[in-house]
A = this chain, B = another copy of it.
């Protein structure tokens, strides 16, 4: 309708229209308490009347706050990260921040390029699921740039350097092993990933701890391989056909576990009765699989929310004490790990 490419409306125009100075208008835009009520109202009306659009770029130049946050995940196509991102987005929107998103594909190079861009764009904070093999020096570098960084789900080094939000996978796996042991299982195999990152180490630590606790050290066995659904199927097939076939599988994530379920039904075995299967993440699909899949629930959405909240807090208090938020990862027991799979009730 309008679309006459007239020159853009600026604070100066509003000032003229409302009969005040640029500075006053600026204060109104910043919702400052300094401005008298009547003046504020007049300015706001002028802004609406002229169709003013706040120019965040110009504001940033002077004030160096951008109201943006950078988010890096490995693979946004993975439903887990989709849910994580949903939690982040939800929380940021409520606080009027906007996320930049990039998928690193676990490539250090792509991650580095994106981080450089984020620096140029001067994001107020960074939410980072570090790519595999990210060196600690990268995280330190980000801190040196003066950019708050929250590590999410994974952290580099043995323990997080700065702020961290993740799930208690160690405890989750311990619970899983205990649950299996009370069901009489002894040959319990962990289907892990290939890469060596913190989230992987935590699972392993929980597994070793619980197997030791149950006096099953000698029977502990860790299978390493890729983490897709197909790979899960193949890996499970190979294990189950071996001469010392396990009676229970704890899988790195639900995709692998769902693959394992396929392997079992392919072999004519009944998950839960013939071989127990437990996954990690408790994605939506888990509850609806046949049989329903037991899983260690990592609640990605909640993790996302917490991470975003922590970021907002860190922006406000850059020097505040570093936080390490570890959310519980409860075991959700379903038919795939119960000998008597009569009723499919879920535990909380």
Binding site for B on A (CB under 8 A): 1-3, 5, 53-58, 60-61, 66, 68, 75-79, 81-83, 85-86, 89-90, 93, 96, 98-103, 110, 113-114, 117, 119-122, 140, 144-146, 229-230, 233, 258-259, 262, 265, 284-285, 288, 290, 301
Contacts and interface: CB of A to CB of B under 8 A. Distances in A.
Contact of A55 (B68, B77, B120): B120
Contacts of A230: 288
Given A93-B113, A98-B117, A144-B3, A288 B262 contact: yes
Contacts of A3: 144
A101 B89 contact: yes
Most buried by B among A89, A103, A140: A89
A226 B198 CA distance: 40
Scoring A5, A58, A117, A122 by chain B CB atoms within 10 A of each residue's CB, the highest score goes to: A117
A76 B85 CA distance: 7
7 contacts: A53-B120, A86-B103, A89-B103, A90-B103, A258-B288, A259-B288, A285-B285
Nearest to A262: B288
Contact of A101 (B56, B61, B85, B120): B85
Contacts of A57: 57, 60-61, 66, 121-122
A284 B81 contact: no
A1 B98 contact: no
Nearest to A8: B64
Given A3-B144, A57-B66, A57-B121, 5 more contacts: A5-B146, A79-B82, A89-B102, A98-B121, A233-B288
Given A100-B98, A113-B93, A77 B301 contact: yes
A3 B117 CA distance: 20
Given A89-B76, A144-B2, A288-B258, A121 B56 contact: yes
A120 B56 contact: yes
Contacts of A122: 55-57
A100 B93 CA distance: 12
A76 B66 contact: no
Contacts of A93: 102, 110, 113-114
Given A102-B93, A146-B5, A119 B53 contact: yes
A79 B76 contact: no
Nearest to A75: B86
